[in-house]
Structure formats: structure tokens, C-alpha cells
Amino acid sequence: MILDRLADATRARYARRMADTPLDIVKSRALALPKGNFAFERALEAPGVSLICEVKKASPSKGLISPDFPYLDIARDYAAAGAAAISCLTEPDYFLGDDRYLQEIAAAVPIPVLRKDFTLYDYQIYEAKVLGAGAVLLICALLDTDTLRRYIEICDTLGLSALVEAHDHREIASALAAGARVIGVNNRNLKDFTVDVHNSSRYRALVPAGIRFVSESGITTPADIEVLRQNGTDAALIGEALMRAPNRRAAVEALLR
């Protein structure tokens, strides 16, 4: 399965990284920074469907998406067009991401940036804080409930938001039990990367009021956004449709109309 390969690549990468720079060093750097103000989750409180716009160079399912990849221009266009937040891929093996992209984007835009990666270790959360992220992605398919709870507590200590991603009712139950305040339901099956744009709508009612609900993947049109608005979805995370748009700023503005 693709998710298994992504997790294996992450384990290999962090075995090397944690040997080079131990956890206590990264943790001390993160804790020395001012505590964040949970700007990511606050950004999703606006009426209507907020947009989390993704900056990514490639994906396992679609290959190379943006050969030239002017990531700072892309991020600035998203922010200028009214995005509530930015999602930045940092996974290097399958998405061709880089920590540098996140660090530079976070310094360049006035809106919060989600670190989109495959979080397996608390090390990655402290690292995200040092890089300037306002939020991290925690995937239920990779983390049990106790680990999710512990990682959310670490985020709370740092002032980071956690976007907890689920795909079915069991994973939503795990996210809720762990204390998630922002839950995203992925319309893409991470086992085989097929997309069902109605997946998040089916599970919307399982997430109670007061917890931000995000629909992830496969959203491409204003009609899709209208469906989400009608079922009370707080935000949509949109990647490929915007990355392939000839005018990304206009594409964001069209989705927000």
C-alpha cells in the first residue's frame, strides 16, 4: 500500500535525522520559541467554507505536478486571493517536498501554514515548530488513539494546531477520543489513492459542533464547495486543482465567491 511505503520512507529518513540531531536539541529549540496562538484553527472560524490551499510539487498518484515550482509566488497568490491557510508538503521522497519550502513560506505570508507530512514521531512536531509551522498533520491510519492524544498535547504546549485526518467512522472516533479540535476527512483513500469526493459529506454528522471539520482532496469546483457549505463543513483543503490552474489566484477567488 502507498501509505505503508510513505511510512517506511519516513522511518528511514528520521532514523538518519534523529541520529544527526537528537530529540533533546530539537525539542529545546522549539520550546525556546514563543508559544503559538493556534492561528490555524482560529482561521477556520470564519463563516462559510474556508480554503486551505496546498503548495506541492508532486504526488505519488499524479507524479510531477509543477516542474518549475515557484513555491513562494504560489503561496503569496493563495494568501492574496483570500486563503485562510496554506498546506505545504515537506515529504521529500514521494511528494518532492522540502523543509525549506515550509520555512520560507511561513516567513513570507501572513496566514498560518500547515506542515503536510507523515508524522510518526514527536520529533517531527518539535521540528515543525522550529520551521515556523502553525499546524501539523496527524493521520489516524498511522497513529493509535493514545499516540494521537500525546501528540495533540505536545502541539498544545507549543501553541500549534493539529489537523487530525480520518477516513472512516472508526478513525473519526479515535480522533474525537484523542481530543482533536480540527478533524479532516480525506476523500482520497490513502491505501490505494482512489478519490470519492462525497466521502467527507458522509461522515460530517459524526463530528460535533465546536470541532472544526475539514474536507480534504478531490475538491475542484464551486459546486463542490457549495455541497460542503450546505452540510456545514468549515474548510476545504485543495491541492492539485489549484496547482494545475493556469491562474491560481483567480482559481482561489472563484472558489470563494
* Catalytic residue list: 54, 56, 116, 165, 186, 216-217
* Rounded distance between C-alpha atoms, residue 169 and residue 46, angstroms: 26
* Rounded distance between C-alpha atoms, residue 6 and residue 1, angstroms: 9
Task: Report the half-sphere exposure of 236 (CA within 13 A, side-chain side).
Answer: 30
Q: What is the dihedral of CA 69, 71, 73, 76, to 10 degrees?
A: 150
Alpha helix segments (H runs only) across 21-159: 23-32, 39-43, 71-81, 99-108, 122-131, 145-158
Question: Burial of 163 by CB count in 10 Å (0-12 exposed, 13-18 middle, 19+ buried)?
Answer: buried
Question: Burial of 151 by CB count in 10 Å (0-12 exposed, 13-18 middle, 19+ buried)?
Answer: buried
- Radius of gyration over alpha carbons of the chain, in Å? 17
Answer for the pair 114, 87: CB distance below 8 angstroms, yes or no.
yes
* Rounded distance between C-alpha atoms, residue 49 and residue 109, angstroms: 20
